[in-house]
A and B are shown apart, each in its own frame.
Chain A
Amino acid sequence: MSTAQVTPMRPTCVLICALGGEGGGVLAEWLYGAAVRAGHAAQSTSVPGVAQRTGATTYYIEVWPQPASTHPGRRPVFSLNPVPGGVDLLVSSELLETARQVANGMVSADRTVVISSTARTLTTAEKMQPTDGRADTGALVAALQRHAKQAELLDLAALAQQAGTVISAVMLGAIAASGVLPFARGVYEDTIRAGGKGVEPSLRGFALAFDAVTRQREQRTAVEAALQPAPAPDLRALGRARVASYQDEAYARLYDERLDRFAAWPAVQQELARWLALWMAFDDIVRVAALKLAASRQARVRREVKAGDDEIVKLYDHFKPGVPEFAALLPERLAARLQAWDRRRVAAGRDPWALPLKVGTHTLRGALALRFVAGLKGWRRRGQRFAREQALIERWLAAVQAGAQRDPALGLELALCGRLIKGYGSTNERGQASLLHIVDVLATRDAATVRAAREAALADDAGRALDATLAAHGAPPRPPREQPVRFYRRKPVPAR
């Protein structure tokens, strides 16, 4: 036969993005089943191997838009791979994976309807950064809206949770509502019923998504509203309240005095309000004990673990206080002796002293213990750490002030270095060391250098990036930290 006139007839192509374990395979099976049920030729395929445990995966389905009875004796040849620009419907359970298909070139403005969850399942690479490594959601959404013929964005994960089902059922409902495939709602629902497993929750999830997408197609405002930034908080008021509750009113006044020194540079003062409050309210065991015992925390935990009213929650906290935590609350002389003892231990090749505790916060003994530690608030001012922290804060503030006098931009960058102070134990010490080193060797340089050093210090916790940046700017590297070296070599095996 002549095929000089290639018909515009083509299959409807559906690409599904899911993460391993989300039931994408079941979804593909449902779609294939719905097509068979409706008498359409169809084919599905997948690459589950790649999904092996939590990775990204895709499923691909092609359906002939007319029933098989319209093309007797002829079978369409379906593709096993999605084709760039040749996808009619992209359904995705995760926003980054949706964007990945845009980056793969799959989504085209003249053909592709996109239904994507706005929910993010963060990748390890995003989560593991010492600061905020998350991809910019706004940029992902913008990329999607730029390339899709029509983009329906909604939180599919939340719908699944609401329905008490898996996300695949919700995605099926969204697909049905999109109208891209030529099947009536009942065909999908019958397919779910025929599957026989978890039918009721699946149908619930299906209906929720079906209605949500239908509604959204009629009025598209949800996404825009979700992307509006929240109003900026009054950082100084928040900071003052934090410091006052952390210690007392006198401490809050000290906060005010410290900030007032920067009245001439509002931008610097604004940033300092945040970082100074956080540093002054440094985390110690007194504060942690109070936070762990707080009444509001009990309610939050019950909410987080989704405990029903009739369920009992037993709550255990993991603590491992060591010598630094105890020394922090002791006067300088006593603390120094304790620390000297611990250093001798370590020098002898033993681990630093620490007390691994699993405290039953829900028990009377646990609550009493926490109450006792939280009650040491007054002691804090007399302890070694309080004095040391105040000295370091002053050193930092002096550098910020001197910097601001030279150039407000430099002062601002030095103020932002307050972000380096966080965490507990060695993390906290490392941050302090980095900050002080930047303050000491770079405070007289320019703003850009300080910014580069700060960003490097925040980028990796081993400090290699910071050292490299310092070297690049001709600044001396950080002094090596004292650390006992356990040097070992394999012994040569005597020749046999």
Chain B
Amino acid sequence: MEVQFTEQIKQLQLGAGQAFHGEGILAITKALLQSGVAYIGGYQGAPVSHLLDVMVQAKPYVDTLGVHVEACSNEASAAAMLGASLHYPVRGCVTWKSIVGTNVAADALSNLASPGVTGGTLIVVGEDTGEGASVIQERTHAFAMKSTMALFDPRPDLPTMVNCVQHAFALSEASHMPAMLGLRIRACHVRGSFEAQDNVAPRHGTHAWIDEPAPFDYGKLAHPPVTFRHEKLKVEQRIPAAQAYIEQHGLNETFEGELADVGLIVQGGLYNALQRALQTVGLADAFGDSRVPIHVLNVVYPLAPKSIGAFAAGKRAVLVLEEGTPEFIEKDVIQALRRQDLNTAVHGKDLMPPAGEYNVETLVQGLIAFGERHLPQVDLAAAKAWLAANAERRADVPVASLPPRPPGFCVGCPERPVFSALKLAQQEVGRVHVAADIGCHALATFEPFHSGHSILGYGMSLASRAGVGPLMAQRTLAIMGDGGFWHNGLLTGVQAALFNGDDAVLMIMKNGYTSATGTQDIISTPDDEAKAEAERNAAVHQSLAHKNQTIEQTLKGMGVPWLRTVHTYEVDAMRRTVEEALTTDFAGLKVIVAEGECQLERQRRLKPFVAGRLKRGERVERVKYGVDEDVCTGDHACIRLSGCPTLTVKDNPDPLRVDPVATVIDGCVGCGLCGANAHAATLCPSFYRAEVVKNAGGWERFVARWRETVTSWLRPEVVA
């Protein structure tokens, strides 16, 4: 990837006493180094991608500490990496996006958690409970419980987050259970500060090897009959050990308050929102001094029943604030209190919504409901008035009255033309069942393409057509990115389709990177040599995707008989290829490789290159497309076939016409789709392509001047 993390890498090297300023995820990364971690791995995904991205780029520095960093091929391989800590006293951390990544990793996690670890292991997951999330209603909590792994949900406050990382390793070692740490998206990106400590080189690492393999120990294998013993170890030793550690180190914090006969038990991640809610109800000040006592669960699994009991003892009622369903924590709290014969009333999902994010407003509603039952002395009128005012404002401007703005393909994205071609092909051969996938190409599910019938998981599109394909009269189309292909699709999709002789069509978006997660490199990324060569030949603007043939070679090696590679900007060729794949007599697997390098990466390469040439006064050519406003009739068919952010509309300058005309605004990178679509779809003659040359040579200037003079004799002055 071409993004530079220079500043972040500097922050990682801070020593004791220095002030770290930065985002939450980077603070976590720094905390790993302060904890003496020996190896780090993972698979990128929002919102935790930066942990790995920064570490990969910081290799020269982390090498000096002896820390091994590896970008894993998927979450399963990342989880398997933690196997190093089964036998050896080395700390390891891996990261991914949950819940999806945890699902992929589940097999390895079970087999890691069963024998239990020697060295501390930590899994940092992006816990996607709210906005910008996928499969938001599922919780990592369930995985932690089923595999008996500790789950941290720290207060979104940098010192607490860093502290939790360091304790997570120690807890993992004390209890032999792997630990997880979940971060909500806003906590990942929260910018704050903490006082750094020195980084610690691990005892064993790339600088100090483990001398010899551990002795054979059947107990470290997840195999019967030792797994029966593992089960006992989990409940008889590990959970109690973890609970003891939590209590001994006060990982769950209690904040006292004057209204001592009630209390709030809250997931750490919700603490700040709860504080603002309390402020709104008039129960706290801005510095976190609450009138209601609060017990903050920085570790949400396992719960420490003794601390829960100590907090609830003497209280008439507690309210458990826990995002998501089922209400695991609430049930644990109820059980803990009943076992300790405490009759404190426990509220939770009876007063709080069972689904959705617990934002400040939701929490205020819960606090009002709780206050009405248990805090007659508190005046709730202001809070209620605030809620009513919010509702009134929303009623005045309903959200549904505003056009939505979902994300879309970047300007110049090489994947957009594929969906233009697919739209055109379907006009010829009829509608097609499209098995979509995870990746940038999933943005085609939005306007103007509205393409895709299902998304079953990352790299799962071809596999997911295995059921519907044989039951359908027409062929189905599976779309997959190269990221998804390597993550999973090669085995679950291609291999299965070949083995079963399926009559399927697979479209692989070969853009050279896993782009939706931030253009991380993969095995089919164009290598540095190809990039250097492009620079030498002044061909930096060109796609380099074809320079890496790993996907094609793999497919050929597996025996894919029908394989076509089409450059995505050849819309007409792509349309014909799709039509052929859908109608050919050949009944086996047909693969179309849609080739075109990620535009983000190309632009990041191109910008400094062009800037350099301009600085040296060398010839630079830029391309921009445009629409002739007097030729455009305002039908916008071009937009329905493109959706490019720079292809938009403006007021019609012709006073006779009323519909806005299409226009290409600044930001157009001259990708060529407008022209290709105009030809492939027989749109209209409005589009032009302008090649603007700066610092042209003498001959080129001469020719241009000559042409201008001669053609000016041919031009009519005014045309209405």
- Does A associate with B in a complex? yes
B-binding residues in A (CB < 8 A): 1-4, 6-7, 9-11, 19-21, 28-29, 32, 36, 43-56, 60, 64, 71, 74-81, 83-86, 96-97, 99-100, 102-105, 107-108, 121-135, 143, 146-147, 161, 233, 235, 238-239, 241-242, 245-246, 274, 277-278, 281, 283, 285, 287-288, 290-298, 300-301, 304-308, 310-320, 322, 354, 356, 358, 361-364, 367-368, 370-371, 374, 419, 422-427, 461, 486, 488-491, 493, 496
B628 touches A490 (CB 8 A): no
- Is B189 among interface residues, defined by CB-CB distance under 8 A? yes
A123 touches B404 (CB 8 A): yes
- Is B381 among interface residues, defined by CB-CB distance under 8 A? no
B389 touches A132 (CB 8 A): no
Q: Which of B286, B475, B679, B716 contacts A374 (CB 8 A)?
A: B716
- Is B559 among interface residues, defined by CB-CB distance under 8 A? no
The 17 listed contacts between A and B (C-beta, < 8 Å) are A3-B285, A36-B21, A47-B132, A52-B516, A53-B407, A96-B402, A100-B405, A245-B720, A274-B658, A278-B656, A283-B631, A304-B626, A314-B691, A316-B690, A362-B704, A367-B715, A486-B429
A40 to chain B: closest CB distance in Å? 12
Other A-B contacts than A49-B46, A294-B717, A318-B674, 4 sampled, CB-CB below 8 A, are A52-B443, A71-B287, A104-B399, A291-B630
Residues from chain A with a CB closer than 8 A to the CB of B714 are 293, 367-368, 370-371
Q: CA–CA, A54 to B440, complex, Å?
A: 12
A288 touches B656 (CB 8 A): no
- Is B77 among interface residues, defined by CB-CB distance under 8 A? no
Residues from chain A with a CB closer than 8 A to the CB of B408 are 53-55, 124
Q: CA–CA, A490 to B475, complex, Å?
A: 6
Q: Which of B190, B404, B428, B633 contacts A283 (CB 8 A)?
A: B633
B501 touches A496 (CB 8 A): yes
The answer to whether residues A53 and B287 also contact, given A291-B631, A318-B688, A486-B429 and a CB cut-off of 8 A, is: no
The answer to whether residues A143 and B440 also contact, given A239-B656, A295-B712, A320-B682 and a CB cut-off of 8 A, is: no
The answer to whether residues A364 and B707 also contact, given A128-B643, A311-B692 and a CB cut-off of 8 A, is: yes
Q: CA–CA, A327 to B503, complex, Å?
A: 43
B691 touches A316 (CB 8 A): yes
Residues from chain A with a CB closer than 8 A to the CB of B687 are 317-318
B637 touches A427 (CB 8 A): yes
Q: Which of A108, A121, A307, A422 contacts B692 (CB 8 A)?
A: A307
Cβ-closest chain A residue relative to B290:
A3
Residues from chain B with a CB closer than 8 A to the CB of A124 are 408, 446-448, 639, 643
A53 touches B429 (CB 8 A): no
Residues from chain A with a CB closer than 8 A to the CB of B186 are 45-47, 60, 80-81
Q: Which of B386, B640, B678 contacts A128 (CB 8 A)?
A: B640
Contact with A along B632-656 (1 / 0, CB 8 A): 0111110110010101110000011
Residues from chain A with a CB closer than 8 A to the CB of B628 are 291-292, 297
- Is B583 among interface residues, defined by CB-CB distance under 8 A? yes
Q: Which of B184, B655, B682 contacts A233 (CB 8 A)?
A: B655
- Is B89 among interface residues, defined by CB-CB distance under 8 A? no
- Is B258 among interface residues, defined by CB-CB distance under 8 A? yes
A-binding residues in B (CB < 8 A): 21, 46-47, 131-133, 156-157, 184-187, 189-193, 258, 271-273, 275-276, 279-280, 282-291, 359-361, 386, 389-391, 393-394, 396-399, 401-411, 413, 428-430, 440, 443, 446-448, 470, 472-475, 501, 503, 516, 572, 582-583, 585, 587, 624, 626, 628-631, 633-637, 639-640, 643, 645, 647-649, 655-660, 664, 666, 674-675, 678-679, 682-685, 687-694, 696, 700-701, 704, 707-708, 710-712, 714-720
Residues from chain A with a CB closer than 8 A to the CB of B271 are 77
B446 touches A132 (CB 8 A): no
Cβ-closest chain B residue relative to A367:
B711
Residues from chain A with a CB closer than 8 A to the CB of B715 are 293-295, 298, 367
The answer to whether residues A43 and B192 also contact, given A80-B186, A367-B714 and a CB cut-off of 8 A, is: yes
A83 touches B626 (CB 8 A): no
A27 to chain B: closest CB distance in Å? 12
A80 touches B272 (CB 8 A): yes
Residues from chain B with a CB closer than 8 A to the CB of A294 are 715-719
A53 touches B402 (CB 8 A): no
Q: CA–CA, A29 to B498, complex, Å?
A: 51
Residues from chain A with a CB closer than 8 A to the CB of B678 are 318, 320
A322 touches B682 (CB 8 A): yes
Q: CA–CA, A452 to B472, complex, Å?
A: 38
Q: Which of A80, A238, A370 contacts B655 (CB 8 A)?
A: A238
Cβ-closest chain A residue relative to B440:
A53
Residues from chain B with a CB closer than 8 A to the CB of A291 are 628, 630-631, 719
Q: CA–CA, A374 to B718, complex, Å?
A: 13
Q: CA–CA, A354 to B681, complex, Å?
A: 11
The answer to whether residues A143 and B284 also contact, given A161-B666, A301-B688 and a CB cut-off of 8 A, is: no
Q: CA–CA, A149 to B25, complex, Å?
A: 36
Residues from chain B with a CB closer than 8 A to the CB of A123 are 403-405
B639 touches A308 (CB 8 A): no
A77 touches B716 (CB 8 A): no
A132 touches B660 (CB 8 A): yes
A311 touches B446 (CB 8 A): no
Q: CA–CA, A105 to B306, complex, Å?
A: 42
Q: CA–CA, A461 to B483, complex, Å?
A: 36
Q: CA–CA, A312 to B279, complex, Å?
A: 63
Residues from chain A with a CB closer than 8 A to the CB of B717 are 294-296
Residues from chain B with a CB closer than 8 A to the CB of A295 are 712, 715-717
Cβ-closest chain A residue relative to B600:
A53
A96 touches B407 (CB 8 A): no
Q: CA–CA, A298 to B585, complex, Å?
A: 51
Q: Give the number of residue pairs across the A-B interface with Cβ within 8 Å.
A: 398
A444 to chain B: closest CB distance in Å? 27
Cβ-closest chain A residue relative to B645:
A54
A77 touches B682 (CB 8 A): no
B213 to chain A: closest CB distance in Å? 42
The answer to whether residues A290 and B688 also contact, given A50-B132, A53-B443, A102-B393 and a CB cut-off of 8 A, is: no
B658 touches A313 (CB 8 A): no
Q: CA–CA, A147 to B473, complex, Å?
A: 56
A28 touches B688 (CB 8 A): no
Residues from chain A with a CB closer than 8 A to the CB of B626 are 301, 304-305
A312 touches B718 (CB 8 A): no
A47 touches B394 (CB 8 A): no
- Which of A78, A239, A370, A419 is the most central at the interface, judged by chain B CB atoms within 10 Å of its CB? A78
Residues from chain A with a CB closer than 8 A to the CB of B429 are 486, 488
Q: Which of B132, B157, B191, B404 contacts A29 (CB 8 A)?
A: B191
B253 to chain A: closest CB distance in Å? 13
B360 touches A301 (CB 8 A): no
A126 touches B694 (CB 8 A): no
Q: CA–CA, A354 to B386, complex, Å?
A: 65
Residues from chain A with a CB closer than 8 A to the CB of B47 are 48-49
A45 to chain B: closest CB distance in Å? 4
B692 touches A363 (CB 8 A): no
Residues from chain B with a CB closer than 8 A to the CB of A75 are 287-288
A45 touches B190 (CB 8 A): yes
- Which of B407, B717, B718 is the most central at the interface, judged by chain A CB atoms within 10 Å of its CB? B407
Residues from chain A with a CB closer than 8 A to the CB of B446 are 124
A2 touches B258 (CB 8 A): yes
Residues from chain A with a CB closer than 8 A to the CB of B276 are 77, 79, 81, 83, 86
Q: CA–CA, A214 to B193, complex, Å?
A: 33
B386 touches A85 (CB 8 A): yes
Q: CA–CA, A85 to B408, complex, Å?
A: 30
A129 touches B636 (CB 8 A): yes
Q: Which 7 pairs from chain A and chain B are nearest by CB?
A: A55-B407, A49-B132, A50-B132, A49-B46, A367-B711, A245-B720, A77-B288
A313 to chain B: closest CB distance in Å? 5
Q: CA–CA, A313 to B496, complex, Å?
A: 53
Q: CA–CA, A307 to B684, complex, Å?
A: 25
Q: CA–CA, A312 to B693, complex, Å?
A: 5
Cβ-closest chain A residue relative to B470:
A493
Q: CA–CA, A392 to B407, complex, Å?
A: 44
Residues from chain A with a CB closer than 8 A to the CB of B361 are 83-84
A333 to chain B: closest CB distance in Å? 26
